[in-house]
Chain A
């Protein structure tokens, strides 16, 4: 997963880097960026800056879409690995399981995204909109909004648990029926609600802390020498591998929780 993701992103990132370098060519102006991006240079870059930003955002959007499909595909293999093949899964079997589960997993992923979108609109969008209207354009009171953010986070394990139980049900039964799987997911959560909820909540909080911490590290690190930049690259990839393991940890935990449940 890691290497495929990396190669996929590099397909967009490397041309961007080349374009960026060609704007500067033999200029020494890039040295002004050694301590972080000096936005004053954006004007000097002229139209190239806008084109680079446009390419980066379009490329980023395409990468997210492709990544969504890729990770949904690999989730098929992972859930099979954690459901029916605890002893291990050969790469060919892993890929076969991924292929078999892809369509129902994609349906579940899309449905859950839709549910989480409405949930977010209800818990955060609606109160923010009401506060915005009441205060006539003022930014919503941060203190009050924090309460809604907390409620949102506390509700999130419910949807993640349902998604994981559903996918585990497909991996276990071999069924291709996404809606039935969702029903099974809700039933499984209902049978072991508090245990499932708090387990996923803890994993979620740990994930959020890890993501925030690693993003903070990445944003605020400004390595300037060649070797340091290479070490920085290795560090970010190590962090990403940890992140992948943490995601797989949630799949495995929920799969284990579902073991023995009749749903």
Chain B
């Protein structure tokens, strides 16, 4: 009986994989996983067995394999993830781990004794999130390595990204998974080798596109969903059910289970969108659908098509809030649906952002560990564009008559107001950012300089850059240098030599440099051109009546300074008292520049960057100068403050 059961289990993946999503693969599908598992809600474990395969696409034999064992980040307080104190278990049951109970290769070699944990990023001997296996039989070029693994994954609590809380489960990074074997030249790499990073507080995604056949058995009361499509659901007749999913051409597979989930569905073009949410979130389900569809439409039109026929949006309940704001390409988690006032588009912003990762990391599978800006930063830039275009007439965060904030300004503020913004460059690996600057640098600064780039080269060219980036690199692993190469090609093609031979000068400053940008309009002067009079060499120069005509002409000077280290071409709009306006262009390289005008008109005001295109400028207040400043807003705010105080006093006094 056991033999039949074993044979049945062996044949299951093959039976499942008979059903496919795409006729033609979207990616190379270098790796694949057939997983059979059981969720035990008493022990909070997922146990089972899996067959994982990896194809050696290089032209050399490979002697080892490297696997992510990311749940081990929760196995001790000395892992690189937990050692900074950002996570502690909820009692002794809160620890998490992934344990390999047995592992054999396709030649039936037992590999258990060939395993060792390594820490390529920080040498932390207590970190057990990367496993290296020395293979007894090298994998020859073109050959496939198959590993049969029996594993046990204990889920952590409280949830950070993955784990459980009571009967809520969000299960990500839960099985042994291959790193990426990079060949020489790929992402500017010099020699072949595995790229497999430890699990860090700020990064977790860099994997190959895979095919997943996943079968999970669990109690019937759980409502579940995953990043795959549902192939089959079977009631086992013993209060358990078995769910079978298949996913293709995604870099990670996550799933969630909770008895309290409410499910809503919507279709956008060919995409079936499923929303799993709490009772409270269900009441505002349309907001989540609208946000997801806004993002789908925007990115589909400006970057490239969303290729999968399915998308799962999870809005976790409060008990599972630690799982909020995560991305697994065809499944992502939002946050706070129904929990915040409707004028705040916080939940919608999270939905747009996390969906955006389907493109920036999902379709364009950059390395989040080594180049987080290319993942989170590029995605934040698109999130801000989408949110500001979709909500509040450009003020996507909130737009009240007395208070407003755009999503892009929200990101810009977090950059310009951070005192450590010059402490590092923007190209560091995620775990190397000093002084808590990771979020500000990876998310905010990148988005700010991408908005600035858009301001320089125009929105149309910017969109074309991303279309080309998608065309060249979809379902591959681009690096930052690859992205810059796309920028250089598209800008050269569309704008010629307007910005020089290439745009490297820009990236050298904003990405690989740590200077700030601050242009300052230091003042305006209007001097009358005087008739010539005075004492020269002791002789008095006599007053000539005809010279009085000179008193009606002016020498006007607009003085500009470059207070920051970043040099960008800037525009200056100069306004004269007769209504004339002139737009000056300056290469922005010198420390100062004076624009001079002679004539009967006087300069009344001038503005650097008149259309607020240089988001990088850390102080926009000093970008303009007027002879007649208007303080009506200050008067209005003072009046409101006075009335507010009057009412406060009258209310608080009985």
Binding site for B on A (CB under 8 A): 5-6, 9-10, 12-14, 16-17, 20-21, 23-31, 33-46, 56, 60, 63-64, 67-68, 70-72, 75, 109, 112-113, 116, 135-139, 159-160, 163, 211, 214-215, 218-226, 229, 232-233, 236-237, 239-240, 243-244, 247
Contact = CB atoms under 8 A, between A and B. Distances in A.
Contact of A229 (B402, B406, B416, B635): B635
Contact of A225 (B409, B621, B632, B648): B632
B3 interface: no
A63 B645 contact: yes
Contacts of A25: 629
A68 B629 contact: no
A39 B645 contact: no
Contacts of A236: 639-640, 642-643, 646
Contacts of B651: 211
Nearest to A29: B621
Interface string B625-654: 111011111111111111111111111111
B401 A220 contact: yes
A26 B649 contact: no
9 contacts: A12-B645, A23-B621, A37-B404, A40-B409, A44-B619, A68-B652, A71-B650, A215-B644, A222-B636
Given A27-B621, A36-B404, A226-B632, A20 B413 contact: no
B405 A30 contact: no
Contacts of B630: 28, 30-31
Nearest to B317: A138
B590 interface: no
B318 interface: yes
Contacts of A160: 654
Contact of A244 (B417, B634, B650): B650
A44 B648 contact: no
A85 B638 CA distance: 39
Contacts of A36: 400-404
Nearest to B622: A27
Contacts of A240: 643, 646-647, 650
A239 B643 contact: yes
B635 A26 contact: no
Question: Interface extent on B, as a size class?
Answer: 35 or more
Contact of B645 (A9, A33, A159, A225): A9
A27 B624 contact: yes
Contacts of B636: 222-224, 229, 232
B203 interface: no
Interface of B: 318-319, 321, 339, 395, 400-406, 409-410, 412-414, 416-417, 523, 605, 607, 618-627, 629-654
A220 B652 contact: no
Contacts of B618: 44
A68 B447 CA distance: 48
A139 B629 contact: no
How would you classify the secondary structure of chain A's contact residues: helix, strand, loop or mixed? Answer: helix
Contacts, number: 200
Given A26-B625, A33-B637, 10 more contacts: A5-B646, A24-B621, A31-B630, A36-B403, A37-B633, A40-B410, A40-B413, A63-B645, A163-B654, A220-B402
Nearest to A208: B651
A17 B634 contact: yes
Nearest to B340: A139
A21 B653 contact: no
A229 B406 CA distance: 26
Contacts of B649: 5, 63-64, 67-68, 70-71
A28 B607 contact: yes
A5 B651 CA distance: 13
Nearest to B641: A13
Contact of B416 (A31, A44, A60, A232): A44
B634 A30 contact: yes
Given A37-B404, A220-B402, A232-B639, A243 B647 contact: yes
B409 A27 contact: no
Nearest to B280: A138
Nearest to A67: B649
A222 B605 contact: no
A184 B319 CA distance: 52
Contacts of B319: 136
Nearest to A241: B646
A6 B625 contact: no
Contacts of A12: 645
Contacts of A222: 401-402, 636
Given A6-B646, A40-B409, A71-B649, A33 B619 contact: no
Contact of B638 (A13, A40, A219): A13
Contact of A27 (B629, B632, B637): B629
A20 B637 CA distance: 10
Given A30-B634, A40-B405, A44-B621, A67 B641 contact: no
Contacts of A33: 633, 637
B647 A43 contact: no
Contacts of A30: 629-631, 633-634
A60 B640 CA distance: 13
B653 A215 contact: no
Nearest to A221: B401
A148 B215 CA distance: 49
Nearest to B610: A28
B646 A37 contact: no
A16 B405 CA distance: 23
Contacts of B404: 35-39
Chain A CB count within 10 A is highest, among B413, B416, B637, B646, for: B646
B647 A39 contact: no
A41 B650 CA distance: 32
B639 A229 contact: yes
A226 B550 CA distance: 37
B413 A64 contact: no
A16 to B, nearest CB: 7
